[in-house]
Structure 1
Amino acid sequence: MSNALQAFGSMVKGWVTANADHYLRVVIPADHVLPAPENSAPLEPDASYFRVWLSEMFLSKSVDWGAQQFPAVHTEVTLTFGNQAEVTFSRVSQPPKDQIGKGVFLNYLLSELMPYKGGVVTIDAALIALKGEDYLRTAIGVLQQFSGLVTAPLGEALNIAGKLTIGTRDLLASTGGNIHLGWHDSFVSKGGDGGLVMKPGFYAVILGTQQQVEPEKLYVKDGRLYKGNDLQSASPLSGFDYMLFRIEGRKERDDWRLKTVDEPLKKAKAALAKDNNEEFTAYRKVSLVAALESPDYSETDRQRVIATIKQELKKLQESGLGVLGIEEGKSFDYAMSYEEAHARGPISSHEALADD
């Protein structure tokens, strides 16, 4: 990793170390969360996905946020992606100008859905107090919009993701902004050493001491941080600046029709309607190869996507209707269950391209 790409993580780690006496990072136990989480089991490498959210940010009156100083949250997630050992995806977020005085901000997306391949996943996030005029807010707003361009398929967005990370760091450094609150953690798979176990859950970072906050009394209700003697009687935490993060875990993509796979698939279906077997064969192969090589799928989902492509095309071939046999907006379910695909393991190129 380049020195430029290391700078932000080092800055956040330095802040956490320097502020250890009046800063807390709290992992919220699953039995302190309402509604109860559907799944809090560790994520399995090559068979799961994750996404990072800023569930809640609360700003007390400890800082006079306003025209000359405004908050922005910069987040970087570094992980193994595809065949690259370390890829960093970043996102910058800022509250709307007319809401800064309200103090509470909810549900900011900090990363896209990404396959978990194991290894070490590092998350660095910082609430930065930026000093400047309205033009700086505009510049941050532009970066926020560009952050939204880094979407699935992420494999096609690696170039812009890298430039966005460096550009954001350069802008933040040029403003002289200071970290007001930071989070740095490294996550590993179950049984690994050197970090927290990678699993769904809530993580709170709070400007306060253990004696002041009493972390064992912290709860999460509907994505917000509460404090009390029990889950039912707890009330919203106040009096401290804090950020509440959530790691979302999934076994499968609900958006598996990535454009790199779906566009040639649609062309293969159109070729069937024209009874053009040569075009059909070519586009079928392009779609299957895209699914086979895409870094956006887990190995388990890759099996399922390839099986689904084949099933859809086979059904249309048997119907004799081609693309005309598809109802508008209809989407077939996965052709293979998660359990079956998981049991089969990674698919080979021979299996992926076979006529079955």
Structure 2
Amino acid sequence: MGALEQRCGTLLSWLRNGSPRGSTYLALDPARVHPRPSEQAFASRAHYFKVRVHEMRLSHRRRWFATYDPLVVTTTGFRYDGEPRTVPFTIGPALLHEHVSDVPGGFRFGDITVAGPHPYQGGVLEVTLVLYRLRADHAVRRLLSMVDSCSRLADVTASIGTHLKVASLVLDGLDHVLGLEESVPLLGHRIELDPVDGFTAGHHVLALEGELDPETLWVRDNRLLRGRTEDDARPVDDADYVLYSVAQDVERNDVEQLPWFRPLWARVVREAGVPSEDAWRGAKAHMAVLAEMLELSPDLTRDQARRLREELVVDLRHLHDRALELAELGPADENGEFGALRRHTVEILDL
């Protein structure tokens, strides 16, 4: 276990002994969720998972943002590239203000991604979520602002390697914030989703004990409702709660944001656009490297990596054919920096 995983474990170890007093956790029946989530069990290297906080409702009676500030701390533990990893994320006042809406009797925040999309690579998926109450204080708010800023820099949608470089800064700030006497955990729990049980996508609610009855709860478009039936269900407006989900997908739509993808594909496009034999060989060489990166990347599922490879090869051929058509307008320029680089690439291929 790495140093970051140990720090996350120490930070939230008290949750292993149970939730904060008065806190209750509810796993919602998929039949009460619309649109209904996939009921297919997560399969290793076939599905992506994403953890999102859809709603957090805070009532005025607790004097949020006047006397107290909220802080949500999450950690998500999973296997990545053959190793166990833990990704921390914080949702503090600064980030919450960007997602706030006034509702009767309080505030509502929502739709913040705290982990993923990442390929599920087998083993247990662990999710920890805690809502803290901190006394509103200028010094504390400055510290929380720093933690929020670091959490945003640790882009949860990027590769894990990029995220973990910043995650330690988040934990440094949390060590100070949660060490204050004014830091009180109100809601919290930790769950382990085990493949032995065939775990699936689903919505989860964290609330104060006795405030919500699971038999009356519904979710529509990632919003928590309450009613005897789905038709008469209305937004919950008299309770503090957090609604989050573990979502499942077969594709991620942000592949271009992976740090190695764009530079490699740019080289392929550049070489494929030159109508010469040397450039074509260079384009194919760069494409071979990109195809290998797709296949080996721990940030992609096996099926999506292969689909992308096939699609990019088709694009490569189209780019080359287009370059040949344009060549009829005049000869290609083989001089300059790229021409010299191309010749060196071909020399290596001829070794």
Q: Same fold (TM over 0.5)?
A: yes
Q: What amino acid is aligned across from residue 148 of structure 1 in structure 2?
A: R
The equivalent of 1:179 in structure 2 is 185
The equivalent of 1:300 in structure 2 is 303
The equivalent of 2:268 in structure 1 is 268
The equivalent of 2:9 in structure 1 is 6
Establish whether residue 140 from structure 1 lines up as the match of residue 144 from structure 2.
yes
Aligned equivalents of 2:208, 2:61: Cα separation in 1: 10
The equivalent of 1:201 in structure 2 is 202
Change (3 A) 1:268 1:222: closer
State the shift of 1:123 in Å. 0.5
State the shift of 1:68 in Å. 4.6
State the shift of 1:282 in Å. 4.2
Unaligned runs of 5+ in 2: 328-351
Aligned equivalents of 2:221, 2:187: Cα separation in 1: 23
Change (3 A) 1:286 1:164: farther
* Identity over aligned pairs, percent: 20
1:142-178 residue CA offsets vs partner (Å, 9 max, x unmatched): 3323323333441441541441453243133333312
Aligned equivalents of 1:64, 1:322: Cα separation in 2: 69
Aligned equivalents of 2:288, 2:146: Cα separation in 1: 39
1:272-304 residue CA offsets vs partner (Å, 9 max, x unmatched): 223434642443233223212321101221222
State the shift of 1:122 in Å. 0.4
1:190-226 residue CA offsets vs partner (Å, 9 max, x unmatched): xx05xxx4322210111022xx532211111232222
Q: Which runs of 4+ in 1 moved over 4 A?
A: 97-101, 321-324
Aligned equivalents of 2:115, 2:324: Cα separation in 1: 40
State the shift of 1:261 in Å. 1.8
1:240-263 residue CA offsets vs partner (Å, 9 max, x unmatched): 221111222111112223341232
1:60-112 residue CA offsets vs partner (Å, 9 max, x unmatched): 2452323452001111111001121x111121112229979832222222223
Q: Secondary structure at the match of 1:320?
A: helix
TM-score, normalized by length of structure 2? 0.79
Question: Is contact 2:30-2:37 (8 Å) kept?
Answer: no
Question: Is contact 2:129-2:188 (8 Å) kept?
Answer: yes
Aligned equivalents of 1:167, 1:43: Cα separation in 2: 33
Q: What amino acid is aligned across from residue 66 of structure 1 in structure 2?
A: F
Question: Is contact 2:294-2:309 (8 Å) kept?
Answer: yes
Question: Is contact 1:79-1:120 (8 Å) kept?
Answer: yes
Question: Is contact 1:74-1:93 (8 Å) kept?
Answer: yes
Q: 1:127 aligns with which of 126, 131, 135?
A: 131
Aligned equivalents of 1:307, 1:9: Cα separation in 2: 44
State the shift of 1:180 in Å. 1.2
The equivalent of 1:284 in structure 2 is 287
Q: Secondary structure at the match of 1:74?
A: strand
Aligned equivalents of 2:325, 2:151: Cα separation in 1: 38
C-alpha root-mean-square deviation of aligned residues, in Å?
2.7
Deviates more, 1:241-250 or 1:22-31: 22-31
Question: Is contact 2:225-2:233 (8 Å) kept?
Answer: yes
Paired residues for 1:114-263 under 5 Å:
114-151=118-155, 152-176=157-181, 177-189=183-195, 192-193=196-197, 197-209=198-210, 213-257=212-256, 258-263=258-263
Deviates more, 1:219-228 or 1:58-67: 58-67
Larger Rg: 2
Aligned equivalents of 1:241, 1:272: Cα separation in 2: 57
Aligned equivalents of 1:168, 1:124: Cα separation in 2: 18
Q: Secondary structure at the match of 2:126?
A: strand
Q: What amino acid is aligned across from residue 187 of structure 2 in structure 1?
A: L
The equivalent of 1:334 in structure 2 is none
Question: Is contact 2:57-2:106 (8 Å) kept?
Answer: no
Aligned equivalents of 2:139, 2:233: Cα separation in 1: 42
Q: What amino acid is aligned across from residue 138 of structure 2 in structure 1?
A: D
Change (3 A) 1:141 1:121: same
Change (3 A) 1:131 1:255: same
Deviates more, 1:3-12 or 1:197-206: 3-12
Q: What amino acid is aligned across from residue 315 of structure 1 in structure 2?
A: H
Q: 2:112 aligns with which of 108, 113, 119?
A: 108
